[in-house]
Chain A
Amino acid sequence: MNPVPLFFRLQTKQAMLMEPVRTDVLTVTPWLAPIVWEGTFDPQVIDEAFRSYNLTIATTVFAVGKYTCFLRDFLESAEKHFMVGLNVQYYVFTDMPSHVPISVTLGVGRRLNVVKVPKFDRWQEISLRRMELIQTAIEEYIHQRANYIFCLDVDMIFHGRVGPEALGKLVAAIHPWFYWVPRSQYPYERRTISKAYIPQDHGDFYYQANIFGGAVEDVHRLTKTCREHLEMDKSAGVEAVWQEESHLNWYLLKNKPTKLLSPEYVWDDLRGQGAKEIKLVRFSSVIKNKAEVRENP
């Protein structure tokens, strides 16, 4: 299934060319991909365009070991804010299917699928295997059932709209802790032995792996490449500094995203309320006691 061109019927107020709504932030990348901030898009126009296409958005989330405790809040808040009005197929990858809260009420056209996966002793290992598992899931069933796919972290909650303005061929979100720093300070993998290596004077933005997505075909290519690189690194005895996130950043430097989500879409509650460019927090990490939920430090 392919993403479709859009046909719009509704119009609201006119967009005045000389009156930018956001003058404080970059709204388009140097390769002309839009960066989605509050104020840059008209939600009514976007919703109207996408509604008529009967799209299905696959949404993967990993809840392994103690991380199943985050599922209820994740799902309940997703039902309020995530792609409301569209068909969503959740794929919950877990080693403990009995811990999945199936009592969460889902809206029309939305379904929860539970996929059993093995558990690993190290949280880094769980994180690393995600690319492989997503790739396989796309190959085996997601490609037939969905137009777009989003891969989300489970220890997060939706607080505001995350709608079809986030849909695109290849979509990534800007990390909330690095968006104002020079690229030499991005936590890229800097050892040349790793496939995720990025030299000091290269880089666009630092993307966080908590949310990425796009057309199923493009996300398949992403996950397949990252998985292959992860395996090559493993053979060479190296684990990238931020595991899959390092490989994701390498991939997205080379294969430019067609749309970027501002840090509104991947916030960290630990950053607090102070950032004036963030007018709305849509999706953010739950403050958690890492010792309690992780298998190892």
Chain B
Amino acid sequence: MRFFPVTKPYVLLLPASGLILIVGYRIFWLFREKISSPEYQEFTFRTKEWNMVIPDMSSYNQPRILVGRTDVVSVTPWLAPIVWEGTFDPVLTDNIYKPMNLTIATTVFAVGKYVSFLKDFLETAEKHFMINFRVRYYVFTDRPNEVPSVNLSGGRHLTVISIPGSNRWQEISAQRMKIIHNTIETQIHKEADYIFCLDVDSKFHFRWGAESLGRLVSVIHPGYYDTTRNNFPYERRPASKAFMSMDQGDYYYGGAVIGGLVEDVYKLTKECHKEFEEDAKNSIEAAWQEESHLNRYLYYNKPSKVLSPEYLWQDFKARTREVKVIRFSGVIKNYAAIRPNE
């Protein structure tokens, strides 16, 4: 009889440990499945879509239903707004977005001699870009010592991130998608709600505000906004992952501006980089590198908001009637002087 209480724990130990092993194995298996599935992410994003609330009964002009801008299209066929001067009320927009306490991440690549553009970019951004919002600039450069110190307004920060340079400007351009999505993964998803990825060789000249915020935002390339789609400089070789046939396409979007919720831009940059790598394996480089992949992505994943060419101009272009203000424009440059290669 004394034997019984001694053996009882041992008798139970075997099936108990067996049960634990089985349960543990199932949990491990589920976890493994979860982390190996492409959707699994070890992090979460700060912001889903926001509601547009005005903080109090603020005063602004009454919108008039029978009057609109008649010279341009202000909404896409999938009902995304196209942002032109005159289509939005800046006071109302600011009243809606400022109370949301948003942080806008802004990435810019200044590699090699392109570091010389930073000063003007940052100084004009401080005058015109997302004024009175919290902005975090992320400057990717191979020359961190040459990043100029620019006075930033309260609530705005600058982070310098070192990246390798390259002998080919196409390579630098192509790696941007990878670097952006990696940085979102490691850092930006914790620090910002929205993100804009901008080209550094440009300056701000006019308001670029919260009217540009949306889930997935792109800009219409200033060189192609009045062209038919068969003349868009899409990648036309079927072998490329960026291929677009002659009867496909909405607008030609500029690669110099990509924006949206951090989560959506993460998906875009990850996907575009993946396609770029696929092409590289097959020894193809798309006609306009990442811009080609971006255009294909945005054809299939329509942007929720499109910025007019006011938001991406080029200084060498003459002004046109419909573009009433220029907000952001690429400066005239001597490519031979600043690019590492042709």
Contact = CB atoms under 8 A, between A and B. Distances in A.
A255 B82 CA distance: 22
Contact of A30 (B60, B80, B247): B60
Interface in A164-179: 165, 169-170, 174, 179
Interface residues of A, number: 59
Contact of B73 (A15, A30, A256): A15
Interface in B310-331: 322
A274 to B, nearest CB: 14
A107 interface: no
Interface in B64-98: 64-83, 87-89, 92-93, 96
Nearest to B91: A30
B54 A11 contact: no
Contacts of A33: 52, 81
Interface stretch (B135-143, B168-176, B225-233, B274-282): B225-233
A31 B72 contact: no
A73 B93 CA distance: 42
Interface stretch (B33-41, B106-114, B297-305): B297-305
B68 A27 contact: yes
A156 to B, nearest CB: 21
Interface residues of B, dominant DSSP: loop
A242 to B, nearest CB: 19
Contacts of A30: 60-61, 63, 87-89, 92-93
A291 interface: no
B57 interface: yes
Interface stretch (A2-10, A61-69, A125-133, A142-150): A2-10
B216 interface: yes
Interface in A268-289: 277
B127 interface: no
Given A8-B302, A11-B250, A180 B66 contact: yes
A295 B88 CA distance: 45
Interface in A218-276: 218, 221, 253-256, 258-259
Interface stretch (A86-94, A109-117, A200-208): A200-208
Contacts of A190: none
Counting chain A CB atoms within 10 Å of each CB, the highest count among B62, B83, B215, B216 belongs to: B62
Given A11-B299, A255-B53, A18 B225 contact: yes
A103 interface: no
B186 interface: no
Contact of B77 (A6, A7, A41, A277): A41
A42 interface: yes
Contacts of B305: 32
A45 interface: yes
Contacts of A182: 62
A54 interface: no
Nearest to A198: B57
A136 interface: no
Q: Which DSSP category, helix, strand, loop or mixed, fits chain A's interface?
A: loop
B63 A204 contact: yes
Contacts of B264: 5
Interface string A1-28: 0000111110100111111111111111
B67 A26 contact: yes
A30 to B, nearest CB: 4
Contacts of B67: 26
Nearest to B63: A30
Nearest to B247: A11
Nearest to B213: A32
B250 A254 contact: no
A55 interface: no
A124 interface: no
Name which of A32, A49, A179 has the most chain B CB atoms within 10 A of its CB: A32
A179 B65 contact: yes
A138 interface: no
Given A41-B77, A205-B65, A18 B70 contact: no
Interface of A: 5-9, 11, 14-36, 40-42, 45-46, 49, 165, 169-170, 174, 179-180, 182-183, 198-199, 201-205, 218, 221, 253-256, 258-259, 277
Interface of B: 49, 51-54, 57, 59-83, 87-89, 92-93, 96, 211, 215-216, 220, 225-226, 228-229, 247-251, 264, 299-302, 304-305, 322
Given A20-B72, A28-B68, A41-B77, 9 more contacts: A7-B300, A8-B300, A15-B76, A15-B77, A31-B96, A32-B83, A46-B79, A203-B62, A205-B63
8 contacts: A11-B247, A25-B66, A28-B87, A35-B75, A40-B75, A41-B75, A253-B54, A253-B57
